[in-house]
Structure 1
Amino acid sequence: MASRISELVIPSLDPRRLAAFWCEVLDFTVLELRMHFDVNATDRDQDAELERLLKVGARRVDIGQTGEESWHCLADPEGNEFCLLRTRLS
């Protein structure tokens, strides 16, 4: 059985807005925790998930990528960086 991260803390100026963003991205419900993730699509390919994340408020960030990476570097609405990985989880 694989382990899964259940909670991590990230700084936030507007925790409710950020929680709403991440709940939409991950289809979660709000708990009393703030989280940061590397995310994997579970029901679509990486390109479709990237498009969905950008629509709900993520934005691309440049952290010195070469363009050869298999992941996309993004930021949530408050600028917290996260990566969209290629591998789809089921």
Structure 2
Amino acid sequence: MALEWEQTVVDARDPAALGSWWARALGWVVVNDSPEEYEVRPGPERLPGVVFVPVPDPKTSKNRLHLGFRPDDQAAEVRRLVGLGTRHADVGQGADATWVVPADPEGNEFCVLASR
């Protein structure tokens, strides 16, 4: 038996707005924009995808799971993401952390790691 990572599901107050933001942030494509789910993927036939589903409640605490990204140029990528609407988040990473923690427009934290 084998498992294939198909998607990560994200609860969202506004799935279309948040999914569209992530599509721009990642340079991915929208493969489903129904009211029940908004899915983005690296390409139409590529996996995994990220699916945004509607929930009535706002995010209230630190994520239990978050994504980590390693860009070629951490500082440039953080500036680009801030330009798209992220804000810096404090999840206890400390001043000496080699990663930056932004939050998307609905407050979901993710990491931008230092360049290799």
Identify which of structures 1 and 2 has the higher relative contact order when contacts are C-alpha pairs closer than 8 Å and 6+ apart: 1
- The 3-state SS of whatever aligns with 2:101 is strand
Moved over 4 A (4+): none
Deviations, residues 15-51 of structure 1 (Å, cap 9, x unaligned): 101111111111001134326632222xx41000000
Equivalent in the alignment of 2:89: 61
TM-score using structure 2 length: 0.63
- The 3-state SS of whatever aligns with 1:18 is helix
Equivalent in the alignment of 2:102: 74
Counterparts of 1:28 and 1:50, CA distance in 2 = 18
Name the aligned partner's letter for residue 28 of structure 2.
F
What is the aligned-residue identity percentage?
38
More strand by share: 2
Segments of 5+ residues of structure 2 without an aligned counterpart are 33-38, 40-50, 53-65
Q: How many residues align?
A: 82
Counterparts of 1:6 and 1:70, CA distance in 2 = 30
Equivalent in the alignment of 1:38: 68
- Give the superposed CA RMSD: 1.9
Quote how far apart the aligned CAs of 1:56 are: 0.2
